[in-house]
Amino acid sequence: MAEFTQEELSAKILEFLGTVEKAKNKEVAAAIGVKKRDVDKAVNDLAKEGKIEFLYLGTSYICLPGSKGTAGAE
């Protein structure tokens, strides 16, 4: 598992979310090679800062603000 500072981890999460419409925290963790609990904490911080949003489409996802990640979810 990779070791990142909180700032580096946040940057990696935002970078990954820029490549997808929406993702689950466990998908983000697997993609960037860190533990899900580390992603959970960083995601909560990013959401508080308004840098990401939570989506609830039967289950919860995260996405960049404005993307809404709803393509094909209807």
* CA pseudo-torsion sign 9, 43, 29, 14: negative
Q: Which pLDDT band holds residue 69 (cuts at 50, 70, 90)?
A: low
Answer whether residue 73 shows pLDDT above 50: no
Q: Side chain identity at 58, as an amino acid letter?
A: G
Residue 4 has pLDDT above 50, yes or no: yes
Contact 61, 73 (CB under 8 A): no
The two three-digit tokens of residue 14, written as one number:
């935002």
Cα–Cα distance for residue pair 72/60, rounded to 1 Å: 16
What are the tens digits of pLDDT across the range 19-57?
Answer: 999 999 999 999 999 999 999 999 999 999 999 999 987
pTM score over 0.85: no
